[in-house]
Amino acid sequence: MRIGFIGLGIMGRPMAKHLIDAGHELTVWNRSQPGIDDVVGHGGKAAPSPKDVAAASEVVFTMVGDSPDVEAVSLGADGIAAGASAGLIHVDCTTMSPSVTREIAAAYEAKGIELLDAPVSGGEGGAINATLSIMVGGKKDVFDRCLPLFEIVGKTITYCGPTGAGQTVKLCNQVAVSVTNMAVCESLVLAAKSGVSPETMLQAISGGAASSWQLLNLGPKMIERDFRPGFKVWHQQKDLRLALEVARDNALPLPATSLVAQLFASVEADGLREEGTQALVKALEKLADVSVGG
């Protein structure tokens, strides 16, 4: 197929390369040149704008930063809608506002453009290894047509319901991920403050009911003081902001989510927004005056 890809960051680049490796013709655009150069070097073709990407494509993937970025590349003067032919499918993998997703879909309807909201989970490793979890909202028949493409970049693909449902499920995922991350941090701080080896504690609980992806993958990094990002602090904060906005609109209390967002704000205040989300432990270490490793 003729596929477009807009947004070639740490997630978009490997996803785009997988699509090229599967034999698809890829046209790409990114705000900065290094991402374009990387994917073009892998066999992609560069376009001067999202409009031109859409004009050359049957399906366009986007993986950008936040709701305003998606609006710009979708509905802006040089956006997807300006270059698309009727029948184009836009697959948006950005984690963004469910309500803005529905607004874009409504704007597309008059132009005959289909939108799937398809945010992903799995971080950089999942993108590189094509093991992402993909949560998809939109028309079921459009999802079915794009399923072979999803299977190239992901492992667990779930149709969640109508437009916006994929984004809502992704925000649920981020709530679960971030609160579990906080629990891992608290358990490590408790062990260290009590004079127990954090490594021993992790080993002891990792095979039981307390085990989680965060415990097994982020816990050792916290002890080793490895704060390189698989998923950055500021990305996590953006997702938590979106979840709390949805909660506010529905008069829904999310107390643990609110707390972990405040702890991440402390990490950001220390200038660490580009570090991986395992840097959350630094906020707990500061409060407890203890270090879990290093």
pTM above threshold 0.85: yes
* Predicted confidence (pLDDT) per residue in 92-119, tens digit: 999 999 999 999 999 999 999 999 999 9
Among 88, 33, 23, CA closest to 13: 33
Tokens of 139: 């028309």
Its sign, for the CA torsion 235, 185, 214, 242, is: negative
- Give pLDDT tens digits for 135-163: 999 999 999 999 999 999 999 999 999 99
How far is Cα 201 from Cα 46, in angstroms, rounded to an integer? Answer: 50
Distance CA 82, CA 215 (A): 46
Q: Please indicate whether residue 170 is annotated as part of the active site.
A: yes
Alpha-carbon distance 259 to 25, whole Å?
45
Q: Are 71 and 50 in contact (CB under 8 A)?
A: no
Q: Which of 17, 51, 140, 170 is catalytic?
A: 170
Instruction: Tell me which residue of 94, 68, 65, 66 sits closest to 79, measured CA to CA.
Output: 68
- Which residue segments constitute the domains of the chain, with CATH numbers given? 2-163 (3.40.50.720), 169-288 (1.10.1040.10)
At 294 the pLDDT is 73
